[in-house]
Structure 1
Amino acid sequence: MIVYIAYPTSLNLQSANALQTYTSLRELRARRPDTLALIPRWGMEPSRFYDVGAVHLPRPAIGKLSRLYKSTLLYYMEHSVFAAMTAAMVAPRRQTVEAVYIRQPIIAAWWAGVFGPRLGLPVIYEAHDLESRNPSRAKERWARGLLDLIDRTAIGRVTAVASLTEDFRRLLAHIGWRDPADVAVIPDAYDEQIFAPQDRAACRAELGLPSAAPIVAYAGMTFAHRWLDGLLSAIRALRVTQPDLIGLILGGRPGERAALAAHAISEGLRVAETTATPADLYLLPPRPQTAVVRCLGAADALVIPDTVTDVTASPLKLFEYMALGIPVVLPSIPALHEILPPHLAYSFTRRDLAGLQAALSAALAERDPSLAAARQALAAEHTYGRRAERIIALVERVKNKR
């Protein structure tokens, strides 16, 4: 049995973290039905994770106290309590457990340093970055040592690490924390049940968008740290030579969309929140993935203006964009080019506005259909089914070392 422990930020799949957890579990349980997935749940909160057979433990919602005292340390306490709860759940079953697979750094640190050794179980940590570099980390000055302890324990003492990128795997070897042989690269993925090539004309007709205008699109759960203001500036500049160019941005929180709308208006762009209104820029609220794919399918170019991380950058949208075959514009970050090589992408130096404009212009001019086919072929190696198989292979590897 595989024990899979996660702490999704949304039980109704309103975050990239939750989507990845849900779809990974769906495919993992399709291949290993005995997988025990442990997920927290607050009260009677609705949860999509029942669909994939997850067991919900009561969420020890200590982090909610941050409304009174704003500190990430309260969430560290919450995750610590949940780690103990999962250990109590797993202990009676330990004879049948092959490995414990964990996606959350605090929980991983407790399992690596305490519960795994006590129960005699191998622990795998899927590291998305160092906690000491997490934008949401504890900011108290005295907590710096705690962050280092969390990272060194979660990464240094687990049986094996699952890294999203080869670049992060190299970093761990460079700083001497892990032998590369103990780090498996398991990139993010896309849901092949949803993301597939679309009929552009049909997508535009469905959305009420102009049939011939060039369209640049972006989709994301949140806009934080994604340099979307740079994308707006690039769209405004490109409209000097392509006056019918349309920007389509989908997702984000209401406050983020409002701030972006204000910036767009200051750039002289007409903004609308529905495609029923003529505009230069459409800021559409979040919608189900089945609708997202139709919006993206209407575009001539898809954009990743920036990423939150660098050596661990593996955004879901990259894989989803590739699956559609549409030209992809992205910053020249090694972790991204591990997945989509430069000859199949339109790259620019990070946060370089002129470079972003040039890359967008080149992407909009793409006419070679073989490039779309090549992107789709690469994407096929990164379905959630393949991701689940990579996780199972890593579990088999650590199990055979026992």
Structure 2
Amino acid sequence: MRLAYIAYPTSLTLRSANAIQTHTTLRELRQRAPDTLAIIPRWLREPSRFAEVGAVHLPRPAVGKLSRLYRSTLWYYAERSIFAAMAAALIAGERARGRPAAVVYVREAICAGWWAALWGPLLRLPVIYEAHDLESWNPSRAKERWAQPLLNLLDRAALTRSQAVVSLTAEFRQLLARMGWRAPADVAVIADAFDDAQIAPGDRAAARRQLGIAEDAALVAYSGMTFAYRKLDMLQQAFAQLRARCPNARLALVGGRPAEIAQLRAQAAALGIDDAVIYAGQIVQEQIAPYLHAADVLAIPDTVTDVTASPLKLFEYLAAGRAVALPDIPALAEVLPPTIGYYFRRGDAAALAEALERALNDPARPAREQAGREAVAAHTYAARAERILALAVEVAGKYGTIAA
């Protein structure tokens, strides 16, 4: 059985969580199913790490650049629609050359809508859609009022007409059932994962010597490629409150684009904590682990989504063997039980400060860190790839294909 995997990563050089998730998943899929057809868009001559995992790069339509003339996300919807058609032409061509796909797996909403409603039926191929949220809830969605019915139609097509849906959380599966869009049996929960080739427990003292951080500091850290929609300003507010009670506290922020860091530096100066905050900037994945190991507590101030919240950083934090302070979102509790994580009321800086202080002073913290490692141990990308392949085999057997 050959799987066609269609994705639209936001960075071909792995500068986003979306891209890291896609790249690592494809790496593990190709190790187990070398014939997997991975289809990725690319600007002409754009550097790409996806060649490492055998991806086919289709020319990325330049429609999105028209947003310079009229600012609207709709240009990118058109771009992804064209890419979905190009992927269909490639898959049809592969079939004509005697290399047919049995199942199409799509992890991008616009492409999924087209494949579930048009290209899948035309090519008589079953479609699996990995949904990361409703597109109509996406913070970056098209904001034109007249476009909202189209977004709802897109969600309905992708989620009701695909042969199977993959959800990152049980919360989202339950939401689809309440909406009457999918029976729970048609939705497989396959959470995000961590790369066990990159992230493992490490020595705190050695990491601090490497980074030049004092051994007696109470270190809180955050790691993420971008800071948008993650409430890093609230984290700094909470840290200012924590530092008033814990003068040796320090905060390390790993990631962020230059403009985001500049805004946070200005806020830190206004809060009087600028001498206690480390801004590491965007660094390659291999350099992130020492910051995780150096920390006493790792923070997730907020998530972009609610019922689909399954952030890459949560899995990496736990795999690194550190305590985690995180918002009380039910989807997160699916991975990290409240008895292990240090939960706080979402959107409340004072509650976040209290959770950080509680974690720093908790004599049971080592035991909770060990429990966190055990909770996340099964969530490797190798295990995730195996679940995706097993689902694809099940779907192909259930629905059949013209190729078979």
Q: Structure 1-normalised TM-score? A: 0.96
Q: What is the Cα deviation at residue 224 of structure 1?
A: 1.3
1:384 equivalent among 381, 384, 398: 381
1:157 equivalent among 158, 161, 165: 161
Aligned to 2:223: 219
Aligned to 2:306: 310
Q: What is the Cα deviation at residue 96 of structure 1?
A: 3.0
Q: What is the Cα deviation at residue 172 of structure 1?
A: 0.4
Q: Could you tell me how far apart the structure 2 residues matched to 1:281 and 1:53 are?
A: 40
Aligned to 1:17: 18
Q: Could you tell me how far apart the structure 2 residues matched to 1:47 and 1:222 are?
A: 19
Aligned to 1:349: 345
Q: What is the Cα deviation at residue 93 of structure 1?
A: 3.4
Where do residues 325-364 of structure 1 align in structure 2 (5 Å cutoff)? Answer: 325-364=321-360
Residues 91 and 100, structure 2, Cα contact 8 Å, conserved in 1? no
Residues 66 and 74, structure 1, Cα contact 8 Å, conserved in 2? yes
Q: What is the Cα deviation at residue 101 of structure 1?
A: 0.2
- Which stretch shifts more, 65-74 or 164-173? 65-74
Q: Give the aligned residue type for 2:239.
A: I
SS of residue matched to 1:168:
helix
- Which stretch shifts more, 360-369 or 152-161? 360-369
Q: Could you tell me how far apart the structure 1 residues matched to 2:259 and 2:74 are?
A: 25
2:102 equivalent among 98, 101, 108: 98
Aligned to 1:147: 151
- Which stretch shifts more, 220-229 or 180-189? 220-229
| Deviation per residue, 1:34-85 (Å, 9 max, x gap) | 1000001101011100000001011112101111211111001101111110
Q: What is the Cα deviation at residue 324 of structure 1?
A: 1.1
Q: Could you tell me how far apart the structure 1 residues matched to 2:290 and 2:398 are?
A: 46
Q: Give the aligned residue type for 1:377.
A: E
| Deviation per residue, 1:360-392 (Å, 9 max, x gap) | 011112333332222112211111001101111
Q: Give the aligned residue type for 2:291.
A: C
Q: Could you tell me how far apart the structure 2 residues matched to 1:58 and 1:89 are?
A: 12
Indicate whether 1:168 and 2:172 are aligned: yes
Q: Could you tell me how far apart the structure 2 residues matched to 1:93 and 1:179 are?
A: 33
Percent identity (aligned): 58
Q: Could you tell me how far apart the structure 2 residues matched to 1:377 and 1:98 are?
A: 36
Aligned to 1:397: 394
Indicate whether 1:132 and 2:136 are aligned: yes
Q: Could you tell me how far apart the structure 2 residues matched to 1:117 and 1:370 are?
A: 52
SS of residue matched to 2:29:
helix
Q: Could you tell me how far apart the structure 1 residues matched to 2:154 and 2:65 are?
A: 22
Residues 128 and 166, structure 2, Cα contact 8 Å, conserved in 1? yes
Aligned to 2:291: 295
Q: Give the aligned residue type for 1:315.
A: P
5+ long unaligned stretches in structure 1: 271-278
Aligned to 1:370: 367
Where do residues 170-209 of structure 1 align in structure 2 (5 Å cutoff)? Answer: 170-209=174-213
Q: Give the aligned residue type for 1:13.
A: L
Residues 327 and 366, structure 1, Cα contact 8 Å, conserved in 2? no
SS of residue matched to 1:325:
coil
Residues 341 and 368, structure 2, Cα contact 8 Å, conserved in 1? no
Q: What is the Cα deviation at residue 92 of structure 1?
A: 3.3
Indicate whether 1:245 and 2:249 are aligned: yes
Residues 4 and 101, structure 1, Cα contact 8 Å, conserved in 2? yes
Indicate whether 1:49 and 2:50 are aligned: yes
Q: Could you tell me how far apart the structure 2 residues matched to 1:91 and 1:17 are?
A: 27
What's the C-alpha RMSD, in Å, of the aligned pairs? 1.0
Aligned to 2:9: 8
Q: Could you tell me how far apart the structure 2 residues matched to 1:117 and 1:93 are?
A: 17
SS of residue matched to 1:37:
strand
Q: Could you tell me how far apart the structure 1 residues matched to 2:348 and 2:145 are?
A: 33
Give the number of aligned pairs.
394
